[in-house]
Structure 1
Amino acid sequence: MIKINFLLSIIVTCFAIALSTPACAETASPPAKKMQVVVLESPPFVMKTDQGFTGFAIDLWEESAKRMGLDYEYREASTLQELLDSITMGKSDVAVTELTINAERMERMDFSQPWFDAGLQIMIHQAPPTGFWSFFQQLEENGHLKVYLWMGLGVIVASFLLTALDRRLDPEFPTEWKQGFSESFYHVLSVLTSGKTNHKLLFGSYGTMIAAVWLVMGAGVVAYITSSITSVMTVNSLERRIWVADKDRIDDLTDLKGKIVGTLSGSVASMYVAKAGLSGRGFSTLGNLVKALAENRVDAIVGDQPSLVYLLHQRPDLPVIPVGNVIRHEKYGFALKSGSPIRLKLSKQVMLAWETGLIDRLRKKYFGG
């Protein structure tokens, strides 16, 4: 009897195990979902290449994620606001770019320990260029060169006409076209520039009237050339004096009153400019921001100092320069969606990066020195 009961218990146990096995298989946890990391291109912190993303922030994140054993994939945001919304709405787990840590953002998202000390920088247009080429360009921009060209064409046409008439009406005039044209050209320019000439008067009284009209036209031509050159030189001098005065006077945002100030839309700089009561204009990317300043569409720009300095090193041809000191000190960190379970672990990795010298090595790699 005991043997029968023992056998029955074994059968029941096996049957129960057999029944429970499919259920366990059905309730087994699915493969872990890849962590979504949103990035925003901002050299030298995030740069896009054919092989993927690289840069100061990318290198630091990838080293930290490797040590934490995280599986992730990148998704790119086109604007700063898109990156911030991706974190606050829970579409992404981590944001990697030059993201400033401040109280307003910390109400909507979590941050790691800071990994970069930065600040805001003011930039203005470079001093107006000087020299002959600059003067020549100013003449062209103001339309004077076109007038000069038409004047030159008029002189050549008048010289040809005078040569043709003299060859027919003046027996003492040189018979060769080359010599005759050179004499006519000299007489025409002499009248235009000095109002004097020793050319014979043709056509009697009509010739005298024509000569008088030509003298008046010559006086007008000389007056126009003199005034146009003087005005361009005066404007160049005034622009440079104004630029020097502005450059020496600009130290902080209060010195930008009455000027149009460009910033990156959604950035700390844009909030800072708005709080200062300045007239601000937002741009979607750093490249567009600096381009607007180079094209004089804004009077000054305010942005993150590291990125602006790096851009100038890469594009020394841009006619913009930084002025004043860093006007607001900031710290960059990785942003995480609110309540992120990896915040403490990621902060620990950032602290280790400081302690092991990784951050210093990245600074030298991307900024030099």
Structure 2
Amino acid sequence: MSGNLAKLVVWLLMLAVVRCALAQDAPQSLNPSSQPAPTGEALVVATRVLPPFMIREGDGFTGFSAQLWQELAVRTGVNFTWKETANVKEILAAVQAGQAQVGIAAISITSEREQNFDFSQPMFESGLQVMVPTEVDDTFSPLTVLRYFSSGAMPYLLGILALLILIPGHIVWWAERHHKDSPFSHHYIPGIFHAMGWALSAAAGQQNDSPRSRLGRITSIAAVFVSLLFLTYWQAELTSSFTVQQLQGGIQGPDDLPGKRVGTTAGSTSATWAKEHQARLTEYQTIAQAFEALEQKQLDAIVFDSPVLLYHAASAGRGKVRVVGPVFRKENYGILFPRGSDAPRKINLRKRVNEALLKMREDGTYDRLYQQWFVAAE
């Protein structure tokens, strides 16, 4: 009897070991009900309205960053409430003052911010871009005119004009310098200046002095004929250049912004960039205020995060604004935590969020979110 009891105990122990092993090897379900149950006091998450990352929806938010954090909260087992702010400067202040334990929207990871805060793994790769009104810019300034004559075929045309003055001028002066009735001095200076003035008049179709020698007259006829062809082409190219410049406007990218009226949000990396590049900067509490100022022609351009500008240009700003130039100053966005958030007494929240974020990239959840908010819009 005791032998049978011993065998029964052994079999029960083996069964328990097998069940434990199977439980450890079983894959975790993506169903929220299988995730850790939220425990403890609700975290306060500071954010701001910033389509397509954060979009107001009833009493809460939707958008790429909103849905990303909601999934992370489920996976890490935390409760949270939203705390809405006006801009990134207020998000930083709320987290630093302890009014919020997390900040998320489109917060750029910078070395300066890293000194005062902790960041998650990068959650989005972005950069800055320029937005301008779609209206034709028909104002002309010395800088605009200089740009016309330094672009396209204009430098080559100016070079040809110089040759049309120098070559005929030298030929006519050489042929006329010893003629007794020549209007040109036989001395190189000032004779050559007089001859080049004659050549310039010939290029314009107006000759004040006629050469006396046969070579001078032949050169004069040839110069007038070539000049007529040149002036016809010049006029066509000049008209085309002015038309293109008017259609494009005066700002085509970040290199055109020094001295221009530029708007962005207060405390942002785009504001720092604009100050460093001598733009006439106006800082707004929200990017929506900057959009309104641009449409009312109070600004020449906006510098801000590329995804936000592209989303606005394709939605509320369609037909009113356009995004120009390349993406510059590449940046990574991260989730913001107070400094020292990995300390044991602070529940290692950043570490848990990083692990969950990496798992979202591995299982395809991140890619599905990205395609929902960005690829579909493109």
In the alignment, the residues of structure 2 paired with residue 317 and residue 251 of structure 1 have an alpha-carbon distance, to the nearest angstrom, of 19
**For the Cα contact (< 8 Å) 1:115–1:359, is it kept in 2?**
no
Who wins on radius of gyration, i.e. which is larger? 1
Where do residues 201-220 of structure 1 align in structure 2 (5 Å cutoff)? Answer: none
Aligned to 1:81: 89
**For the Cα contact (< 8 Å) 1:101–1:332, is it kept in 2?**
yes
Aligned to 2:143: none
1:319 deviates by 1.5
Coordinate RMSD, CA, aligned: 2.3
In the alignment, the residues of structure 2 paired with residue 287 and residue 239 of structure 1 have an alpha-carbon distance, to the nearest angstrom, of 32
Aligned to 1:102: 110
Partner-residue secondary structure (3-state), 1:59: helix
Aligned residues: 230
Tell which deviates more after alignment, 299-308 or 342-351: 342-351
Aligned to 2:49: 41
In the alignment, the residues of structure 2 paired with residue 80 and residue 251 of structure 1 have an alpha-carbon distance, to the nearest angstrom, of 24
1:321 deviates by 0.8
1:32 deviates by 3.2
1:40 deviates by 0.9
Where do residues 163-182 of structure 1 align in structure 2 (5 Å cutoff)? Answer: none
1:105 deviates by 0.8
Aligned to 1:61: 69
**For the Cα contact (< 8 Å) 1:264–1:282, is it kept in 2?**
yes
In the alignment, the residues of structure 1 paired with residue 373 and residue 80 of structure 2 have an alpha-carbon distance, to the nearest angstrom, of 24
Q: TM-score, normalised by structure 2?
A: 0.57
Aligned to 1:115: 123
Aligned to 1:347: 354
**For the Cα contact (< 8 Å) 2:136–2:248, is it kept in 1?**
no
Letter in 2 for 1:304: D
**For the Cα contact (< 8 Å) 1:127–1:244, is it kept in 2?**
no
Q: TM-score, normalised by structure 1?
A: 0.58
In the alignment, the residues of structure 2 paired with residue 33 and residue 287 of structure 1 have an alpha-carbon distance, to the nearest angstrom, of 34
In the alignment, the residues of structure 2 paired with residue 70 and residue 244 of structure 1 have an alpha-carbon distance, to the nearest angstrom, of 51
Letter in 1 for 2:354: S
Aligned to 1:270: 271
**For the Cα contact (< 8 Å) 1:114–1:350, is it kept in 2?**
no
In the alignment, the residues of structure 1 paired with residue 87 and residue 80 of structure 2 have an alpha-carbon distance, to the nearest angstrom, of 21
Question: In the alignment, does 2:250 pair up with 1:246?
Answer: yes
Aligned to 1:295: 296
In the alignment, the residues of structure 1 paired with residue 61 and residue 249 of structure 2 have an alpha-carbon distance, to the nearest angstrom, of 42
Letter in 2 for 1:49: E
**Cα offsets for 1:42-80 (capped at 9, x unmatched):** 111111111521111111111111111112221111232
1:299 deviates by 0.8
1:283 deviates by 1.0
Partner-residue secondary structure (3-state), 1:74: strand
Where do residues 1-12 of structure 1 align in structure 2 (5 Å cutoff)? Answer: none
In the alignment, the residues of structure 1 paired with residue 362 and residue 288 of structure 2 have an alpha-carbon distance, to the nearest angstrom, of 34
Distance 1:296 1:73, change over 3 A: same
**For the Cα contact (< 8 Å) 1:125–1:293, is it kept in 2?**
yes
When you count helix as a share of all residues, which structure comes out higher?
Answer: 1
* Identity %, equivalent residues: 31
1:242 deviates by 4.2
Aligned to 1:179: none
Where do residues 150-189 of structure 1 align in structure 2 (5 Å cutoff)? Answer: none
1:345 deviates by 1.2
1:278 deviates by 2.0
Letter in 1 for 2:103: A
1:127 deviates by 3.2
Distance 1:280 1:334, change over 3 A: same
**For the Cα contact (< 8 Å) 2:136–2:249, is it kept in 1?**
no
Aligned to 1:320: 321
Aligned to 2:25: none
Unaligned runs of 5+ in 2: 1-38, 139-240, 342-347
Distance 1:245 1:40, change over 3 A: closer
In the alignment, the residues of structure 2 paired with residue 289 and residue 46 of structure 1 have an alpha-carbon distance, to the nearest angstrom, of 17
Aligned to 2:189: none
Aligned to 1:311: 312
